[in-house]
Amino acid sequence: MDKVVWKSPNDEAMVTDYTCPACNKGLLKLFKEDLVLREYVRSKANHKHEDMQSDWVESSCSGVLQCNHDYCLEYVSFCGEARGDDIEYISDEVPGGWGLEYIDKIEIKYIYPSPNLIPLSAKYPESIIQLLKDSFCLYWSSQHLALIKCELSLRRFLMTKSSFEA
Ligand SMILES: [Zn+2]
């Protein structure tokens, strides 16, 4: 799963690829008013440099995502870091037919509750589901630890498999 969300200053709201962990149907949406970006002090110092580039802009960020499913509309919190960039766009309204737009690429480091990275069956024991959900939360900050937690849940699943097949 891609942990980076592109946020343009013109986006009032954008839909991410993340499925809502509450309903597992809707997609999580980021609203501009629910996003806080604060440029790091060390990054602000770069603005005085004569070779300053957009990708030198680094910020701390946090926000709230909301499910876009009309019958759910649940919220999910996240925090992470953002890095600036310029993207090319094509438009007849711009001389030359194309232009550059500044965007912030947000890398999510923590999200709660995390979207499910794999489908969770209602047939799984609650203890397995909880281990997998813990694994999904770890994925955003440490894929290595997420894998260990996932492996643990798989082992526990195999040990208890016969008990819930009946
Ligand atoms: Zn939802």
Whether residues 34 and 90 share a domain: the answer is: yes
β-pair type (4-7, 75-90): unpaired
How far, in Å, from the CA of 166 to the mean position of ligand 1? 32
Place of tokens 């993340």: 18
Whether residues 128 and 161 share a domain: the answer is: yes
Determine the structural domain holding residue 141 and report its residue range.
116-166
Whether residues 146 and 78 share a domain: the answer is: no
How far, in Å, from the CA of 113 to the mean position of ligand 1? 12
Instruction: Chunk the chain into consecutive blocks of 10 residues (it has 166) and report each block's average pLDDT, rounded to whole numbers.
Output: 67 82 93 91 91 92 95 96 88 84 89 90 85 90 86 82 59
pLDDT for res 22: 93
pLDDT for res 1: 64
At residue 99, φ and ψ (nearest 5 deg) are -150, 180
The 3-state secondary structure of 84-147 reads EEEEEEECCCCCCCEEEEEEEEEEEEEEECCCCCCCCCCCCCHHHHHHHHHHHHHHCCCHHHHH
140, 39 Cβ separation under 8 angstroms = no
pLDDT for res 158: 82
How far, in Å, from the CA of 28 to the mean position of ligand 1? 8
How far, in Å, from the CA of 71 to the mean position of ligand 1? 8
